[in-house]
């Protein structure tokens, strides 16, 4: 069979628990579900740094943030390591990317390895967005999710049909501030959306820096997020729960409405492939750059290593090779994507990408047992104390059964509490007995041996990936207070 095509659709901040194929209690996503029904649903894919720019850099390069240099949202992709798109283009693929890039807006950070591209500056706008590309810049009228798909389908329609293609359709939805298309304004009305079971998590056993994050539904969703001022009777500490419930309904209404547009447009792409007779040998991927808190633990946003933020939804259809309704439970990361795509296209990832740190999970998708497949993953969030989210830098390890996290702090404290010197803090969660991660058992004597194993595993992974444990305030780091 000829080399496969790739259609890689990625949204922004779309949590798996807002996809019906993953058992969402909140919404219906029939077209994303179709990919899972006709292909494979991956249940343990994790980002290695839960924020937009770094995840995108890891996906393109097959490397961790400390290797590709894109550690934070202010990083630019500087191509110190190559991308899988460059490799595909060099090997004869037609390549294009449309939509959110978010890997820098300077000339040197422009997409490379693409025959055509048109992207938003930064996050971009939902309605009548400015876009730029090799042919210049201009406002494109319409709704972003539709526009991005239009551009992709137009490009496909004009392609050379004798060569394979790799198209990246990168939605900006459902990123904050969640501006829906008018046509979905009636969906998921206020008052109809169930609250998550962990909404009232008191965080009693967690680290101080986690208790202090600026990501709460009650106090950190602002008027532009919920689209109307909070009523006076809901202000004040005594009304925190009622205010959280009020904001949650408005936040989730808009979040879910924007997802509906993404799902509609996934459907348009699938229909196009059917109409063109390209379904059999086109690899179709739907994913998100990371997960998101949907009121879980009382939060919105991402960054932290908890499951809702760490997990990436990934569904893949490739009828030529993947059986319908397959499932994959192996631990996979966004660093593995580049190697997998190159492998699927008949290229050796380690030869094509010399710095590659990922591994092709193609055999797992065929249902093959891979005896030495990794049973743990390494995570590192580099930003520290950004003034808005107050999220602490941390690293950790997740296995099939446990998660161990180190918030290395260093005595700088958090904004608003800068007089407090914080020591390094640790968390350990038993994912078998406490899958919602409500109880930090790091100091529980019953977990002493588990903790030692995880500490060793963390060090081992840092060594494998060429990262280092935090060495104190003189270590180079991304610190927002200096």
In the complex, minimum distance from the CB of residue 285 to Ca ion, in angstroms, rounded to a whole number: 16
Binning the chain into helix, strand and coil, the percentages to the nearest 5 are 35, 15, 50
Tell me the window of 75-83, 226-234, 284-292, 321-329 that interacts with Ca ion (CB under 5 A): 284-292
> What are the backbone angles phi and psi of residue 449, rounded to the nearest 5°?
-70, -40
Coil, helix or strand at residue 35: helix
Residue with the CB atom nearest Ca ion in the bound state: 52
Nearer to Ca ion by Cβ, of 52 and 215: the residue is 52
Q: Directed axis angle between helix 240-276 and helix 30-37, to 10°?
A: 60
- Residue 456 makes CB contacts below 8 A (sequence gap 6+) with none
Which CB sits closer to Ca ion, 24 or 309? 309
CB of 245 to Ca ion, least distance (A): 26
Q: At what angle do helices 144-157 and 240-276 cross, to 10 degrees?
A: 20
Q: Of 12 and 430, which has the nearer Cβ to Ca ion?
A: 12
By beta-carbon proximity to Ca ion, the closer residue of 155 and 292 is 292
To Ca ion, the closest distance from the beta carbon of 13 in angstroms equals: 4
Looking at the Cβ atoms of 51 and 347, the one nearer to Ca ion is 51
Identity of the residue, 173 or 412, whose beta carbon is nearer to Ca ion in the bound complex = 173
Pairing mode of beta strands 136-139, 165-170: unpaired
Using the contact rule CB under 5 A, the part of the chain among 5-13, 115-123, 274-282, 327-335 near Ca ion is 5-13
Q: Which is nearer to Ca ion, 289 or 385 (CB)?
A: 289
Tokens in use for 460?
């081992």
Residues 79, 77: Cα–Cα separation, whole Å: 6
- Residue found by looking up tokens 């990436």 in the block: 312
CB atoms within 10 A of CB 267: 16
* Nearest distance from C-beta of residue 239 to Ca ion, angstroms: 31
Tally of CA atoms within 13 A in the half-sphere of 123 that contains its CB: 15
Of 124, 129, 118, nearest to 96 by C-alpha is: 118
* DSSP helix/strand/coil, 413: coil
Query: Collapsing DSSP states into helix, strand and coil, what is residue 46?
Result: strand
Tell me how crowded residue 439 is: count the other CB atoms within 10 A of its CB. Answer: 15
Cβ closer to Ca ion: 12 or 437? 12
Q: Using alpha carbons, list the distances in angstroms from residue 472 to 12, 23, 210, 423.
A: 33, 43, 20, 11
The DSSP element (H or E) to which 394 belongs, if any, is: strand 394-399
Q: Which is nearer to Ca ion, 105 or 205 (CB)?
A: 105
Least CB distance from residue 309 to Ca ion, whole Å?
A: 10
CB of 54 to Ca ion, least distance (A): 10
Q: How far is CA 443 from the centre of its chain?
A: 31
Q: Which is nearer to Ca ion, 12 or 116 (CB)?
A: 12
Give ∠ CA 236-239-245 in degrees, rounded to 5: 125
Task: Tell me how far, at minimum, the Cβ of 11 lies from Ca ion, in Å.
Answer: 8
In the three-class reduction of DSSP (H, G, I as helix; E, B as strand; rest coil), residue 389 is classed as coil
- Least Å from the CB of residue 9 to Ca ion: 14
Total residues contacting Ca ion (rule CB under 5 A)? 4
Least distance to Ca ion from the beta carbon of 120, Å? 13
Cβ-contact 269, 169 below 8 angstroms: yes
CB of 262 to Ca ion, least distance (A): 13
Q: Does 13 bind Ca ion (CB under 5 A)?
A: yes
Pattern 213-232, binding to Ca ion, x per CB under 5 A?
--------------------
Q: Binding segment for Ca ion among 50-58, 104-112, 115-123, 131-139 (CB under 5 A)?
A: 50-58
The stretch among 31-39, 133-141, 283-291, 457-465 that binds Ca ion (CB under 5 A) is 283-291
Cα–chain center distance at 5: 23
Q: Of 51 and 322, which CB lies nearer to Ca ion in the complex structure?
A: 51
Which window, 51-59, 66-74, 304-312, 391-399, contacts Ca ion (CB under 5 A)?
Answer: 51-59
| Closer Cβ to Ca ion, 278 or 478, answer by number | 478
Least distance between Ca ion and beta carbon 178 (Å) = 13
Query: Least distance from C-beta 381 to Ca ion, angstroms?
Result: 13
Candidate ranges 286-294, 368-376, 416-424, 469-477; the one touching Ca ion (CB under 5 A): 286-294
Q: What is the DSSP letter of 315?
A: E
Phi, psi values for residue 119, rounded to 5°: -135, 165
The b/e string for 37-68 (b: 16+ C-beta within 10 A; e otherwise) is ebbbbbbbbbbbbbbbbbbbbbbbbbbbbbbb
Binding to Ca ion in span 69-108, by CB under 5 A: none
**x/- map, 287-316, Ca ion, by CB under 5 A:** --x---------------------------
Please, which of residues 107-166 interact with Ca ion by CB under 5 A?
A: none
Binding residues among 25-44 for Ca ion as defined by CB under 5 A: none
* Site residues, Ca ion (CB under 5 A): 12-13, 52, 289
């Amino acid at each position: 069979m000829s080399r496969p095509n790739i259609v890689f659709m990625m949204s922004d901040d779309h949590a798996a628990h807002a996809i019906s194929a993953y058992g969402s209690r909140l919404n219906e996503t029939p077209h994303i579900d179709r990919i899972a029904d006709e292909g494979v649903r991956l249940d343990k894919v994790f980002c290695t740094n839960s924020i937009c720019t770094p995840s995108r850099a890891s996906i393109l390069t097959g490397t961790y943030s400390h290797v590709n240099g894109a550690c934070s949202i202010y990083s630019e992709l500087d191509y110190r390591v190559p991308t899988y798109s460059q490799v595909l283009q060099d090997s004869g693929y037609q390549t294009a990317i449309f939509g959110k890039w978010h890997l820098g807006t300077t000339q040197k950070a422009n997409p490379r390895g693409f025959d055509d591209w048109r992207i938003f500056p930064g996050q971009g706008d939902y309605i009548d967005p400015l876009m730029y590309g090799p042919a210049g810049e201009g406002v494109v009228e319409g709704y972003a999710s539709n526009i991005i798909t239009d551009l992709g389908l137009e490009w496909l329609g004009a392609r050379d049909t004798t060569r394979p293609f790799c198209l990246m359709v990168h939605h900006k939805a459902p990123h904050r501030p969640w501006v829906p298309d008018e046509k979905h304004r009636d969906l998921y009305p206020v008052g109809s959306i169930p609250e998550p079971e962990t909404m009232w998590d008191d965080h009693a056993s967690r680290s101080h820096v986690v208790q202090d994050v600026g990501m709460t539904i009650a106090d950190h969703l602002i008027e532009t997020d919920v689209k109307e001022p909070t009523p006076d009777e809901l202000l004040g500490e005594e009304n925190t729960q009622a205010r959280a419930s009020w904001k949650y309904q408005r936040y989730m209404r808009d979040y879910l409405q924007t997802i509906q547009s993404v799902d509609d447009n996934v459907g348009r792409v699938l229909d196009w492939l059917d109409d063109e007779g390209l379904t059999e040998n086109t690899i179709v991927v739907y994913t998100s750059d990371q997960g998101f808190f949907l009121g879980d633990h009382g939060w919105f946003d991402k960054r932290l290593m908890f499951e809702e933020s760490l997990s990436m939804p990934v569904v893949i259809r490739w009828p030529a090779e993947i059986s319908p309704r397959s499932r994959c439970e192996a631990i996979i990361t966004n660093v593995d994507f580049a190697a997998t795509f190159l492998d699927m296209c008949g290229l050796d990832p380690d030869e094509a990408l010399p710095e590659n740190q990922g591994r092709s999970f193609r055999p797992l998708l065929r249902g093959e047992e891979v005896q030495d497949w990794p049973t743990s993953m390494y995570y590192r969030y580099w930003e520290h104390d950004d003034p808005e989210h107050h999220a602490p830098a941390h690293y950790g390890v997740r296995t099939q059964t446990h998660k161990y996290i180190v918030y290395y702090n260093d005595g700088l404290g958090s904004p608003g509490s800068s007089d407090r010197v914080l020591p390094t803090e640790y968390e350990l969660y038993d994912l078998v007995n406490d899958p919602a991660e409500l109880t930090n058992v790091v100091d529980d004597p019953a977990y002493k041996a588990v903790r030692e194993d995880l500490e060793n595993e963390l060090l081992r992974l840092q060594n494998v990936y060429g990262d280092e444990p935090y060495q104190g305030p003189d270590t180079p780091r991304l610190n927002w207070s200096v």
